């Protein structure tokens, strides 16, 4: 009884989280609206499939109810591929032929009343088709990801790769279902629970910050790298960081590049925001001054101001965060 209760709790947590993330993506108006909806539909399809397993484990379902739940994978699979296309090519416009990818889902639902009710054939119908369809779209998605890996930003590349890894793990689980229903049946929802929470973690820490922030940008991976090198060269030759009031808009005017693109280039190639990038140069300058014998008698405040910091407090905090020691301790060593 205790084990069954724990399984129910774990499975229910995964279902609730899947529905929550799907609803959030449906209502999210920022960023690439098309991608958000497709990702929401992908998660919703998987949640339908897992929900069927949970309900049937505790409440025996009719065959037609089971098949509706199973059809969620046939709905999720093409959404995964279409999501990748909309994520990588932001200007893509889907046509009527793209909806043909959902024909297997519609046909599955339509043919439910006509499927023979005997064990072996029904097992093939329920699981064989699902496993094959998911594999087909997984292969298509991985191929599309690989072909476009040099055209997109690192953050988008890694994000979609992680989604595909999760979907691939789910596919392997369904292969296990084909060979042993008893062992794999209820472990599926628990497995899904861990995956959906891992996905939620990645979403909150990566997707929301990186993808939504720059989803409308036309800056591809190569352009992002070139722009970053341009910004880096400008900082190393012109030393704009020595101005304590420097802003990204000022750099934007100097380089005649949009501030948003500069921010994106720094984030994608250095994994820093603009002010972290600026402080990196300031701290390197301060380390040089702290080691210079000409400045051995100068106050820490003088070092801070000549390195570009506006006050000693921010200098001390930034320096210790970067080096692990205070400026005074660094000078002594």
For CATH 1.10.10.60, list the domain ranges present in the chain.
221-332
Helix (H) or strand (E) holding 233, with range, is: helix 221-238
Contact 161, 142 (CB under 8 A): no
Rounding to the nearest 10 degrees, give the CA dihedral for residues 139, 143, 146, 151: -130
Positive or negative CA dihedral for 239, 241, 243, 246?
A: positive
Q: Note the Cα 234 to chain centre separation in Å.
A: 31
- Of the segments 13-27, 165-179, 216-230, 297-311, which one has the largest average pLDDT value? 297-311
Residue in 242, 103, 233, 127 with CA at minimum distance from that of residue 178? 127
Q: Measure the CA–CA gap between 278 and 308, rounded to whole angstroms.
A: 9
Residue 284 above 90 pLDDT? yes
- Region 39-48: what's the mean pLDDT? 86
Contact 36, 25 (CB under 8 A): yes
Q: Which residue has the tokens 């999720």?
A: 76
Beta strands in the chain (DSSP E): none
CATH of 2-214, one of 1.20.1070.10, 3.40.50.300, 2.60.40.420, 3.40.1050.10: 1.20.1070.10
Give me the pLDDT at residue 209, please. Answer: 44
Whole-number Cα distances in Å, 77 to 45, 158, 250: 8, 20, 46
Residue in 161, 158, 191 with CA at minimum distance from that of residue 176? 191
DSSP code for 62: P
Residue 182, classified by CB atoms within 10 Å of its CB into exposed (0-12), middle (13-18) or buried (19+), is exposed
For CATH 1.20.1070.10, list the domain ranges present in the chain.
2-214
Q: Measure the CA–CA gap between 48 and 63, rounded to whole angstroms.
A: 15
Mean of the per-residue pLDDT values for the chain? Answer: 80
Using DSSP's 3-state secondary structure scheme, residue 297 falls into: coil
- C-beta atoms surrounding 181 within 10 Å: 11
Architecture category of domain 221-332 in CATH: Orthogonal Bundle (1.10)
- Of the segments 52-61, 143-152, 217-226, 274-283, which one has the largest average pLDDT value? 274-283
Q: Measure the CA–CA gap between 69 and 74, rounded to whole angstroms.
A: 10
Give me the pLDDT at residue 1, please. Answer: 44
Using DSSP's 3-state secondary structure scheme, residue 20 falls into: helix
Q: Measure the CA–CA gap between 333 and 244, rounded to whole angstroms.
A: 27
Q: Residues 97-144: pLDDT tens digits?
A: 888 888 888 888 787 766 655 555 555 666 677 788 889 999 999 999
- C-beta atoms surrounding 324 within 10 Å: 9
pTM above 0.75, yes or no: no
Contacts of 23 (CB under 8 A, 6+ apart): 40
Residue 294 above 50 pLDDT? yes
Phi-psi region of 239 (alpha: psi -120 to 50; beta: other; left: phi over 0): left
Q: Measure the CA–CA gap between 307 and 317, rounded to whole angstroms.
A: 14
Using DSSP's 3-state secondary structure scheme, residue 58 falls into: helix
Higher model confidence: residue 242 or residue 120?
242
């Amino acid at each position: 009884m205790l084990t069954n209760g724990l399984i129910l709790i774990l499975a229910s947590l995964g279902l609730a989280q899947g529905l929550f993330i799907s609803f959030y993506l449906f209502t999210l108006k920022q960023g690439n609206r098309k991608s958000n909806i497709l990702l929401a539909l992908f998660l919703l399809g998987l949640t339908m499939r897992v929900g069927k397993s949970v309900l049937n484990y505790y409440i025996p379902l009719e065959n037609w109810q089971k098949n509706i739940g199973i059809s969620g994978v046939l709905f999720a699979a093409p959404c995964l591929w279409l999501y990748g296309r909309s994520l990588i090519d932001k200007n893509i416009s889907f046509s009527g032929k793209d909806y043909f990818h959902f024909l297997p889902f519609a046909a599955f639902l339509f043919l439910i009343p006509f499927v023979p009710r005997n064990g072996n054939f029904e097992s093939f119908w329920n699981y064989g088709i699902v496993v094959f369809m998911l594999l087909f779209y997984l292969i298509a998605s991985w191929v599309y990801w690989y072909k476009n890996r040099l055209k997109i930003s690192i953050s988008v590349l890694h994000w979609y790769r992680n989604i595909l890894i999760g979907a691939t793990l789910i596919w392997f689980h369904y292969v296990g279902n084909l060979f042993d229903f008893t062992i794999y049946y209820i472990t599926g929802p628990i497995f899904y629970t861990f995956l959906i929470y891992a996905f939620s973690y990645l979403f909150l820490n990566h997707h929301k910050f990186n993808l939504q922030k720059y989803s409308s940008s036309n800056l591809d991976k190569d352009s992002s790298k070139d722009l970053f090198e341009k910004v880096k060269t400008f900082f190393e030759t012109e030393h704009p960081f020595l101005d304590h009031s420097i802003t990204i808009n000022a750099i934007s005017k100097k380089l005649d590049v949009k501030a948003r693109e500069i921010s994106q280039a720094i984030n994608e190639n250095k994994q820093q925001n603009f002010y972290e990038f600026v402080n990196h140069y300031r701290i390197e300058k301060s380390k040089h001054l702290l080691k210079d014998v000409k400045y051995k008698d100068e106050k820490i405040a003088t070092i801070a101001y000549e390195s570009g910091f506006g006050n000693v407090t921010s200098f001390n905090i930034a320096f210790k965060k970067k080096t692990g020691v205070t400026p005074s301790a660094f000078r002594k060593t």
